[in-house]
Amino acid sequence: MRRTRPRLIGALATALLATGVGAGPPAQANSAPAATTSAQTAPAPAKKQPTLAELARRQGRYFGSATDNPELTDTAYTALLGREFDMITPGNGMKWYATEPRQGVFDWTNGDEIVGLARAHHQRVRAHTLVWHSQLPDWLTGRDWTPDELRAVLKKHILAEVGHYRGKVYSWDVVNEAFNEDGTYRDTLWYRTLGPGYIADALRWAHQADPRAKLYLNDYNIDGVGAKSDAYYRLAKDLLARGVPLDGIGLQAHLALQYGYPATLEDNLRRFSGLGLDTALTEVDVRMQLPSDAAKLATQAQWYRDLTAACLAVRRCVGVTVWDYTDKYSWIPAVFPGEGAALPWDEQLRPKPAYAAIRQALRGRQPLS
């Protein structure tokens, strides 16, 4: 309470002065009226509040949001997207089904639209994603491939896509979600046909196509120390020892109140940094069982504050990206029925307590008692 008292007193004094109470002795009846000028009576201009991106840059970080092409017709949404963030991730527009819908036929329309939007707002782009087991076109999943055939297909796709966006993006999520929860390799088309070496190959080809882009491995449920994040730690250490180009690990941080906060997040970020890698929180949302209420929103705000502070505490954690910024366009309700309200803005684009908590963390301030 000690921190809130001066603000309450200040607000009370302002109110008293505005009503004349405590403002000194009343003027005499025969006193001359004070001169009034427009400068004296005009209200002081409101001080512009720094955006999340501006606050993050003061800390040497970025603060970003995912977006997707269908919502770009929402002008209120895009105005806030362009103003508040300095890093953009295409949610779907750069995935394989969108970029190579037929073998050897490439379509950059969706990705180009988002890159163009980001450039118009002086934002950078985290490109997502080159190699994943999901959202693949039918021509790729509907037949059997020999290792040589599939390796050639994968190389051609990576060289084409990364080459198309060469110099236009900050980083790539090169391989997405390569491990199971127990730390074993996920049984995917890539792993079954090519073995674990597909990861190193993908990184090398991406680097060949754009040597300046930062290259990441990205996954969910690797926020804390555990079997899955241990697997990434071992893989990263091995790749680096073999000279494979790898710049960072992306921790998606799709969290849910009912499963608890990853208390070892900061330790986990720190150990990857110890390998000489950047880290980033790449797909952040904090879902809850609906309906939301004040207590759940307060806990959600605390989690957003804590994960932002964890990134700030580790020098090589370069930034935070929320997986779209508004509940209006969240993926959560469609995938987790009965859950949602996961983002810092609600469906009417109004900031929630989480937004203030993120700002507080980016300013390096502790919550008020």
* Catalytic residue numbers, as ranges: 177, 283
C-alpha closest to that of 344 among 333, 352, 335, 332: 352
Which residue reads 């959560």 in tokens? 332
Angle (nearest 5°) at CA 278 between 161 and 262: 110
In sequence order, the 6+-apart residues with CB closer than 8 A to the CB of 197 are: none
Spatial contact of 93 and 68, defined as CB atoms under 8 Å apart: yes
- For the record, the structure tokens of 308 come out as 């932002």
C-alpha 271: how far from chain center: 21
Sign of the Cα pseudo-torsion (198, 202, 208, 212, in order): negative
- CA torsion angle for 320, 124, 54, 58 (degrees, to 10)? 70
CA pair distance 256, 299, nearest whole angstrom: 11
Which residue reads 């929103």 in tokens? 297
C-alpha closest to that of 321 among 170, 141, 159, 183: 170
Task: With H, G, I as helix, E, B as strand and everything else as coil, classify residue 155.
Answer: helix
- CA torsion angle for 225, 228, 234, 235 (degrees, to 10)? -140
Helix, strand counts (H, E) of the chain: 15, 10
